[in-house]
Chains A and B, each alone.
Chain A
Amino acid sequence: MRGGHDLGGRQGFGPIRPEPESAEPVFHSEWERRVFAMTLATGMLGQWNIDQSRHARERQHPADYLAQTYYENWLAGTEKLLLEAGLLSAEELEQAMARAGEHQASRDGQGARAVSKREMRIPGPDDARKILRSGGPASRESSSPPRFAPGEQVLLRRKLTSGHTRAPAYAQGCSGWIRACLGGHVFPDANSAGEAIAHHLYSVCFDSHALWGADAESFTVLIDLWEPYLEAFDAESDRCG
C-alpha cells in the first residue's frame, strides 16, 4: 500500500541532520530499548511473520506514521499485532496504561486475562540468543525457472493495493534492466496475508532519468523486485520516459 512509509522521492522533509557517528548511542532512551526488545520477543512467539509485522506499521494513518518517531511506529505496530492475534485486548491495554500512569506496581495477573493455551513457546534468554544467531533465510527453492534474464529490459507494474507490497511507488510504471537473478525468495505480498509462497527475486537497475525526468541528477537506482511485480518491457507501456 502507498502509506506514509513509502517515502522514496517524497519531498519537503528537509535536511538529514545526522548525529556525528562517534556520538550517537544505539538507543536514545530506555523506552526505545524496551520497545525494540518487546517487538523482537513477541515476534519470536511465532504468531506473525516479518511482512505482517512491517504491514502493521504501514497500515497506520499516514499522518501518524510520519509524525511519530521510529520506535513509536514500532510500538504502534507491535500493539496492533498483539491485539489482532488475540494475545491482548484493548481493555487490558487501557487498564495497563492507567496503572502505568498512576505509577502503580502491577500485581500478578491483575486485570490480565489468561492467554488461551495455543501452541506457543515463550522464549527464554538463551532461546532468544539462539534465534538471533540463527536468523531465518528468506530464500526458497522455486519450482519454475526465472522468467527474466540479466540484461533484459523490464517494466515495474503499477499496482494500487491495500495490502503489503515491496514495490516502491516511485519506481512503479518505470522501466529498468535486470542486473541479476537472486533466486526464489518468500513473496512479501502473499506472506503478509499468511501465505508463504516464493517467487524469483531480481536486482533491477533503473536510470535516474527514467524515475525522475530529464532534469534529475544522473545516477542509478538498484531495487530488489519479485517476478510478479515485473513484466517484459514494451515501449508502448513505458509511461515514465
Chain B
Amino acid sequence: MSRNHIHLPSETELRAKALESLLVEKGLVKPATLDAIIETYQNQVGPRNGAHLVALAWADADFRQRLLADASAAAAEIGCFGRQGEHLQALENTPVAHNLVVCTLCSCYPWTVLGLPPAWYKSAPYRSRAVSEPRAVLAEFGTEVSEEVEIRVWDSTSEMRYLVLPMRPPGTDGWSAEQLSRLVTRNAMIGVEQALLPGQLTS
C-alpha cells in the first residue's frame, strides 16, 4: 500500500507551527516573506506558463526552434525565468520517440514553467517505477505508446530541468496559440500523457 501525500498528522502540524513561531521570534524569518513565497507558487508560477510555451512552439516554427535550442532563453521571452528553471531543456515528442521525466532521488522539476510538482511525481511509486517499467507507469495514466515508439526516461539528477514538448494533436489546423494552449496539460509536459484532442476539451 502506498502512502498518499494528503495525510495530515497533527504532530506534524504542531511541529510546523512550533518551528514557524520560533523562527519568527528569533528574527530569522519574516512572516510577510513566507506569504510572498507561498503567493508566488500558489498563484503566479504554474503549468499554464508551460502550456503557453508549448502552444507557441506548435503555432510558430521559429519559436519551436528557439525552444529546442535553448529552452531557458525561449521561456524568458514570455517572462518565465528564475529558480528551478535556470537550465531548462525541452524534449520533443515525435512519432518515434516519447519522453517521460522523473527525479528518482528527490523531486527536481521545472518550477518556472510547471510550478510545483504534483504529489504523485514526488511519491515513491512513481520515482521507483518510472525508470524500471515506464510503459506500465504510462498505462496507469491511461497512456498507451505503441511498441515501435522509443520511450526515453529522463532522470533529473542534476540542475538540468526537463520539459516535454508533446506532439500537436490532429484537427487543430489554424488554431491560435491561445486556443492550442488549452490542449496542453501539465501531465503531457511531464510526459505521462499526450496532449488533449480537440474533442476532449470540456468547455
Tell me the chain A residues, 1-45 only, with Cβ under 8 Å from chain B. 5-11, 13-19, 21, 24, 26-31, 33-38, 40-42, 45
Tell me the chain B residues, 71-103 only, with Cβ under 8 Å from chain A. 81-87
Q: From B8, B40, B140, B158, give the contact of A132 (CB < 8 A).
A: B40
Q: Which of B106, B159, B186 has most A Cβ within 10 Å?
A: B159
**Are A34 and B20 within 8 A (Cβ)?**
yes
B interface residues, how many (CB within 8 angstroms): 88
Chain A residues within an 8 Å CB radius of B27: 115, 122
Whether a CB of chain B sits under 8 angstroms from the CB of A210 is no
- Among the listed stretches B11-19, B56-64, B174-182, which one makes contact with chain A, having 4 or more residues with CB under 8 Å of it? B11-19
Residue interface bits A85-129, CB-to-B below 8 A is 1, else 0: 001100011001101110000101110111100000011111111
Interface size class of A (residues with CB under 8 A): 35 or more
Whether a CB of chain B sits under 8 angstroms from the CB of A48 is no
27 CB-based A-B contacts, threshold 8 Å: A6-B105, A13-B123, A13-B125, A16-B140, A17-B120, A19-B118, A24-B118, A36-B38, A37-B37, A38-B20, A41-B30, A42-B23, A45-B28, A70-B119, A96-B22, A106-B22, A128-B33, A139-B86, A168-B157, A185-B159, A212-B132, A216-B133, A217-B151, A219-B134, A220-B152, A220-B153, A225-B157
Residues on A facing B (Cβ under 8 Å)? 5-11, 13-19, 21, 24, 26-31, 33-38, 40-42, 45, 54, 57-58, 66-67, 69-72, 75, 78-79, 82, 87-88, 92-93, 96-97, 99-101, 106, 108-110, 112-115, 122-129, 131-139, 166-168, 170, 182, 185-186, 188, 201, 203, 211-212, 216-217, 219-226
